Amino acid sequence: MASITAPRLLAARAARRRGVLSGRWDAVLLILPAVAAFCFLFVYPMVGVVTESVTLPEAGIGNYVSLFTDGYTVRIMVRTFWVALMVAVAAILLAFPYAYLMTICGPKWAAVLMTVVLIPFWSNATAKNFGLLVLFQRDGIIDQFTSFFGVHYPLIGTTPGVMIAMVQVMLPFAVLPLYARLGQINRRLLDAAQGLGATRTKSFWRIYVPLSMPGVTASFTLVFILALGFYITPAMLGSPQESLIAQLIMARLEVILDFGGAGAIGVVLLVATLGILGLSQLMSSRLAAGRGRAATGDSVKSIGGGI
């Protein structure tokens, strides 16, 4: 009996091992096209950009040194990060109530609100910016409205106008990750907190908002990173005196043919983006570890005990 059972066990183990190896190879074959496209469309061009940044016009790190010693370039980089930060904050402040409304309304209204969010994806970016150009220009609708109060302030060619246009474009990118996260929150935790005596406002800020922070972090990071590379909107609605980093790169490429300097700016922007992603991942992991307390109901008990 033992002599018959042992070969069967060995055969079963071998079959399982072959199944595991086959599953791994299947996984490799599934991701291989995406990895190949990523390497060909991103890694290979980026290697060329890095190479040009340290070899043109002459070998060395002179392009990187000039970026941080040239006051003009530094000023544009600071302006770009500041604009991206303000756009991300404004987008989150507008997207959070909208995403929250999508989670508490019925399925039909949620579908309508989702359609409204997706409409900007169906229209061309240039067409949207031309529409905003009509609104922002001198003697436009906004300028005519403010003229009733004795103030003429056309938004065309200004940083606030560019920021408003960028928020309008980035709003769907802020709403969708937030909606995905808010829809996963167990609203019975709010009912439990209110049952223990907490007010609706207190339960919202102590329970709902902490649980929504991973979605807020994801939305903020996505909008911030996308806003760093905006080109069409600042080029159409902004001014050369208040240009952003993407306009600076294009000017170096098209006007003065400074491929090395443009590549150095691109590399610095990539490093900054990777750093932001790393910080976002760190914050998300800490938030994920901390929200287990709320998920187990400890925060609900603490609210009830603190009343």
Separation CA 253–CA 260 (nearest Å) = 9
- Six token digits for residue 73: 């370039």
Tell me the pLDDT tens digit for each residue of 80-101: 999 999 999 999 999 999 999 9
Longest dimension (CA), the chain: 101
pLDDT-derived band at 76 (thresholds 50, 70, 90) equals: very high
Tell me the pLDDT tens digit for each residue of 183-211: 888 888 888 888 888 888 888 888 888 88
> Which residues, other chains included, contact 132 with Cβ-Cβ below 8 Å and sequence gap of 6+?
161, 164, 165, 168, 237
CA dist list (Å): 181 to 107, 219, 240, 285, 307: 17, 10, 39, 15, 29
Asked if pLDDT for residue 68 goes beyond 80, the answer is: yes
The predicted model gives 46-73 an average pLDDT of 86
The angle at the Cα of 91, spanning 78 to 230, to the nearest 5 degrees, equals 45
> Using CB atoms within 10 A of its CB, is residue 266 exposed (0-12), middle (13-18) or buried (19+)?
buried
Asked if pLDDT for residue 291 goes beyond 60, the answer is: no
The predicted model gives 163-179 an average pLDDT of 92
Q: What is the pLDDT of residue 90?
A: 95
pLDDT-derived band at 307 (thresholds 50, 70, 90) equals: very low
Whole-number percent of the chain with pLDDT over 70: 86
Separation CA 172–CA 91 (nearest Å) = 9
User: Is-contact 49 263, C-beta < 8 A?
Assistant: yes
Q: What is the pTM of this model?
A: 0.81
Asked if pLDDT for residue 286 goes beyond 80, the answer is: no
Asked if pLDDT for residue 249 goes beyond 70, the answer is: yes
Q: DSSP readout, 99-132?
A: HHHHHHS-HHHHHHHHHHHHGGGGS-HHHHHHHH
pLDDT-derived band at 227 (thresholds 50, 70, 90) equals: very high
Expressed in angstroms, the distance from the first to the final Cα of the chain is 70
Mean pLDDT of the chain: 83
Asked if pLDDT for residue 306 goes beyond 60, the answer is: no
pLDDT-derived band at 293 (thresholds 50, 70, 90) equals: low
Tell me the pLDDT tens digit for each residue of 10-23: 666 656 666 555 66
- Identify which of 212, 230, 110, 113 has the alpha carbon closest to the alpha carbon of residue 166: 230
pLDDT-derived band at 71 (thresholds 50, 70, 90) equals: confident
User: Is-contact 196 210, C-beta < 8 A?
Assistant: no
Q: What is the pLDDT of residue 12?
A: 62
Whole-number percent of the chain with pLDDT over 90: 22
> Which residues, other chains included, contact 165 with Cβ-Cβ below 8 Å and sequence gap of 6+?
129, 132, 136, 233, 237
Q: What is the pLDDT of residue 16?
A: 65
Q: What is the pLDDT of residue 84?
A: 94
pLDDT-derived band at 150 (thresholds 50, 70, 90) equals: confident
